[in-house]
Amino acid sequence: MSGTAGVLSPASQGDRAMFKMALREKTLGARRIITAKQLIAPECGVVLPRLSDVPTEHRFLADDRETIRLAEILVTLGIGAVEDWSQSGRDPTKYASLTLQRWICNHGGATIDRRFDLDVSLSDRLVDYSDERGPRETLYLIVDPEAAAFAVLNPTLDLLEKIHPRLPATFFSYFVGSLNRWVRVYDYHDAEERIEMLREWYEGEANAEQYEVPDVEGCVPQCLKDRPLSLQILRTIGDAIRRDETRDLVDGLLDLCRISKRAKRPEFTEEMGEQLMDCNPPLPCLLAVFSPGDAVAGCFDDEAETALETTPLPNLIIPLKLTEPASVRQGFRTLGVACETLAAASRLIDLMPGNDDGVIGCEK
């Protein structure tokens, strides 16, 4: 999970350059004897230019007060590490970036990177190219995917059905539901909506029957038609299962459900809607299929061809009000829960049979 993609108003290095005065040579006596070496003119030669003292980075600043204010709050709340201030070169922008990277790392970043390709940015606006920014003294933590993670469900559903006929529907419901609290999951429900939309388009055509649409209904296992079990019953069933891969799956699912509920997703406010009024739905962070290349995957591929024609909504928006330090504390806590939820989902997918090909990174 990458660090900040853009931080508002990076601060400049305002320290003045200081030069030492030339050191005066000490005399050994009242009179100084001039040596021959000092009388000979220095040799002249071609000297290659050196770039070691040339700054490698230049920044133009319009206003860095919000970035400085954020850095102050992060230190005061104990969210930011004091040692990162020196490492950042006393640059508030770099300090905020280091703090965000450290926070993500401490909340399961390496585990997230194993399965998910996500980006976290800190910005003063929700659309990069927009001239209109958010309210004054407000920044946003934004989570979005660079690519969708991949999970194959059928092997897991088949395994769970042998234990209890309603376990497959229970697993699917809580697995997808826990992740959907924080990011978008593309599953067979999205594919069914896509098919319905395609059929509405084709109805007006002269030869509507010539168009073929993926058979999403035919690829959905019958076991998912059952009603999911409650979490209490799921725990009881899990406790009764002997220690094997099935028990690990149930325990991992319960862990995912518990973590995802530790915080509440921030509400989508009216001013956010004004900034995003012309945006499409968020890009999926996870594609959940029943088998590789099934109808759900086909709908996803078809929809992906036009997904970026219009700017998509962010998956997760966490506003930070710099006038209220408690808002910054809560915002980082919320980000931590979102990260831990994704990490728990990554661990659970590792346990699901048939998902060896979905690994994109290695835990450090």
Taking only the tens place, the pLDDT of each residue in 114-123 is 999 999 999 9
Interaxial angle between packed helices 325-351 and 92-106, expressed in degrees from 0 to 180 and rounded to the nearest 10: 40
Phi, psi at residue 167, to the nearest 5°? Answer: -65, -40
pLDDT value at residue 265: 96
pLDDT value at residue 339: 98
Order of strands across the sheet that contains 117-123: 117-123, 138-147, 316-321
Tokens found for residue 341 = 């939820």
pLDDT value at residue 243: 82
Cα–Cα nearest to 336, from 109, 28, 84, 44: 109
- More confident site: 243 or 140: 140
Taking only the tens place, the pLDDT of each residue in 284-325 is 999 999 999 999 999 999 999 988 888 999 999 999 999 999
pLDDT value at residue 64: 73
Burial 78-117 (b: 16+ CB within 10 A, else e): ebbeeebbeebeebbbbbbbbbbbbbbbebbbebbbbbbb
Mean pLDDT across 235-246: 92
Tokens found for residue 37 = 């070496």
DSSP letter at 55?
-
Q: Which of the four pLDDT bands, split at 50, 70 and 90, describes residue 5?
A: very low
Residue 86 has pLDDT above 70, yes or no: yes
Mean pLDDT across 142-164: 97
Residue 338 has pLDDT above 50, yes or no: yes
Interaxial angle between packed helices 188-203 and 295-304, expressed in degrees from 0 to 180 and rounded to the nearest 10: 70
